[in-house]
Structure 1
Amino acid sequence: MAANGGTKAILAALFANAGIAVAKFAGFLITGSSSMLAESVHSVADTSNQGLLLLGQRTSRRRATREHPFGYGRDRYFYSFIVALMLFTLGSVFALYEGIHKVQHPEELTSPAVAIVILVVAIALEIYSFRTAIVESAKIKGDASWWGFIRQSKTPELPVVLLEDAGALFGLVFALIGVGLSVVTGEPVWDGIGTIMIGVLLGVIAIILIVEMKSLLIGEGSSERELTAITEALAADGDVERVIHIRTQYIGPDELLVAAKLAMRPGLTTAEVAAVIDGAEARVRERVPAARLMYLEPDLDRAISAPPR
């Protein structure tokens, strides 16, 4: 398949995290650092997560069936939600457990220089992955802030990879600080504290992703800007007096369902009504290409045409 922006960012994160995970596990076996172990498990979880995101992209392209007449676009939301759960359980909970254990029972690090070298190399690789995610996200972010992009994006992969990479990068910095302070002060408890910081960071990121992916999974409507554009396009014909009511919902990242009742000018023939509906659909798709499914119901404006009492 051709690598679009989301796929390119996922693949960059996949290869970076796989290499980093191997290096971190080697560092943990040599040094016994709990920060290295927490980061190793974090990288394994991230690598698995990228695999799940790619799987979601693949399964979402299945053809619609009688049982699933609107297709499988929400598979991408489902697998992104699973990714958020894995980040919380395998990343945050494990790191918190390991960090608290090492604070209560600190152990001297062996060959800490090895851990520092591995962490510095891992930071360089993670910066490459994070930069790729930023570049690809910037292409579709528009004028929204980064926080707004994460909250409003209907494409789940890029926000997930962005937050994962940010968490991984800061986690590596926390691990480096923990190991570094353990070496400088001679107190291995700092390694455990660094691990706890990693766990808290991953927990916050995971909760943000869980909330956002749950919202997408149960169904989100169009943004205010899109809704305004759709409403204006529907009413742009003089034969459409107004939009009586409208409902929208994303049934996949690139597929928006639009259902609306339109007040039509009285006296139109059936053929004219059909032509007005066709024109409205064309105008909406021109303004909002994601609006692929539309169900438009013509009606008379009861509020205007009803005789006074």
Structure 2
Amino acid sequence: MNENKQDAPRQGSQKVIYAAIAANLGIAVAKFIVAGITGSAAMVAEGIHSAVDTGNEFLLLLGERRSARAPDRKHPFGYGKSLYFWALIVALSVFSLGGGLSIYHGVDALQNPPPLEDPMWSYVVLGVAALFEGYSWNVSRKELNTARKPGTSLWQAVRASKDASVFTIFIEDSAALLGLGIAAAGIALGHYFNNPYIDPAASIVIGLLLIGAAFMLARETGGLLVGEAIDHDELAALKALFLREPALDSVASLRTMQLGPEEVLLAASVQFRRGLSIDKVEAAIGRIETAVAAEHPVIRQIYFDASALRAAFK
């Protein structure tokens, strides 16, 4: 068995979170001020969206800090999955608060549409919001790219990522940028056609967009929380590493589970060559652990099937 201590909170992920908090907090205040002046339902929906996103970033920050706690008696495998738990709470928040309230406000405004007001300040705030959201989105994109495999798309990088903080903020910011476009289109079309119902309809569309983003987040974080394996290519490389060990006859199975963004547990069911002395088996295990640590540093804990060890000494 090989164990390493849990890392301190990861600087790259925290940078992404702090950038998102700064962007969304300022944007939310500006949107609500303009929504109060203009009466735009789409701007209210966007304000709700940014306020919810700000709260969500603080939840992710909490998850980051809790996931960095060292293993203890009650949690011998550490607290890495705390991040996945809080990311799932974020997904529920986006669904209920972001999507639900935006749709509710849009439906309410459709029943009693406010009069059309001068949209200039709405456009100003939406433009500034797009700049801030674009900055936050770009920070999360760059962090995703650090682990992105050559030849894969950004969306494939999101699906493959085990870092819930980064892909959650990337998905949130992507939805935010689309929402800004929808809000701007709703306001512009409402004034162009002199129709007060288009703006509330845009609020409902923004709500549906957020619900879609929430389902996407829940699917990704839920799988990690239950316990995902490393991807197929990494598993194949890991098996090839084991097969290079001359003391092994065969590798029956290598079962992995993601315990955190940068921590994986490995349970190895292998067959050692019969008749090996205990010293040679220990030396082989040491070589395997050293090779795994060098080539797959995210694998922090390795357990060997006891039946394989017993068979070696028969």
Instruction: Please state which band the TM-score falls in when normalised by the shorter chain.
Output: over 0.9
Answering whether residue 55 of structure 2 is matched by residue 38 of structure 1, we say no
Deviations 1:217-246 (A, max 9, x none): 111111111111111111211111111222
Moved more, 4-13 or 49-58: 4-13
Deviations 1:236-270 (A, max 9, x none): 11111111222111111111100112111111101
Q: For residue 234 of structure 2, what is the aligned residue in structure 1? A: 226
TM-superposed deviation, 1:103? 2.4
Secondary structure of 2:195 counterpart: coil
Q: How does 1:113-124 map to 2 (within 5 A)?
A: 113-124=120-131
Secondary structure of 2:73 counterpart: coil
Secondary structure of 2:264 counterpart: strand
Secondary structure of 1:174 counterpart: helix
Q: For residue 267 of structure 1, what is the aligned residue in structure 2? A: 275
Counterpart of 1:82 (choices 78, 89, 114) is 89
Q: How does 1:104-253 map to 2 (within 5 A)?
A: 104-143=111-150, 144-253=152-261
Going from structure 1 to structure 2, the CA distance change for 1:245 and 1:296 (only over 3 Å counts) comes to: same
Counterpart of 1:26 (choices 33, 36, 57) is 33
What percentage of aligned pairs have identical amino acids? 39
The runs of 4+ residues in structure 1 deviating greater than 4 Å are 298-303
In structure 1, give the amino acid aligned to 2:210.
Answer: L
Q: For residue 288 of structure 2, what is the aligned residue in structure 1? A: 280
In structure 1, give the amino acid aligned to 2:169.
Answer: V
Secondary structure of 1:120 counterpart: helix
2:189, 2:298 → 1: CA distance? 52
TM-superposed deviation, 1:2? 7.8
Q: Is the 8 A contact 1:42 1:91 kept in 2?
A: yes
Q: For residue 15 of structure 2, what is the aligned residue in structure 1? A: 8
Secondary structure of 1:83 counterpart: helix
Secondary structure of 2:146 counterpart: helix
Going from structure 1 to structure 2, the CA distance change for 1:90 and 1:231 (only over 3 Å counts) comes to: same
Moved more, 138-147 or 185-194: 138-147
2:15, 2:147 → 1: CA distance? 14
1:61, 1:132 → 2: CA distance? 22
Deviations 1:145-196 (A, max 9, x none): 2221221211111110111001111101111111111111111111011111
Counterpart of 1:70 (choices 77, 102, 118) is 77
Q: Is the 8 A contact 1:30 1:111 kept in 2?
A: no
Q: For residue 306 of structure 1, what is the aligned residue in structure 2? A: none
Q: Is the 8 A contact 1:263 1:298 kept in 2?
A: no
1:53, 1:301 → 2: CA distance? 42
TM-score, with structure 1 as normaliser: 0.93
What is the Cα-based RMSD across aligned positions, in Å? 2.0
TM-superposed deviation, 1:5? 2.1
1:84, 1:199 → 2: CA distance? 14
TM-superposed deviation, 1:139? 1.5
Deviations 1:254-301 (A, max 9, x none): 111001121111111011111111111111222211111001236569
Q: For residue 58 of structure 1, what is the aligned residue in structure 2? A: 65
1:135, 1:252 → 2: CA distance? 20
2:309, 2:82 → 1: CA distance? 39
Secondary structure of 2:270 counterpart: strand
Deviations 1:110-164 (A, max 9, x none): 3322212111111121111112211221112122322212212111111101110
Which ranges in structure 2 are unaligned for 5 or more consecutive residues?
A: 1-7
2:65, 2:308 → 1: CA distance? 44
How many residues matched? 304
1:168, 1:185 → 2: CA distance? 26
1:226, 1:262 → 2: CA distance? 18
In structure 1, give the amino acid aligned to 2:140.
Answer: A
Q: Is the 8 A contact 1:246 1:259 kept in 2?
A: yes
Q: Is the 8 A contact 1:234 1:281 kept in 2?
A: no
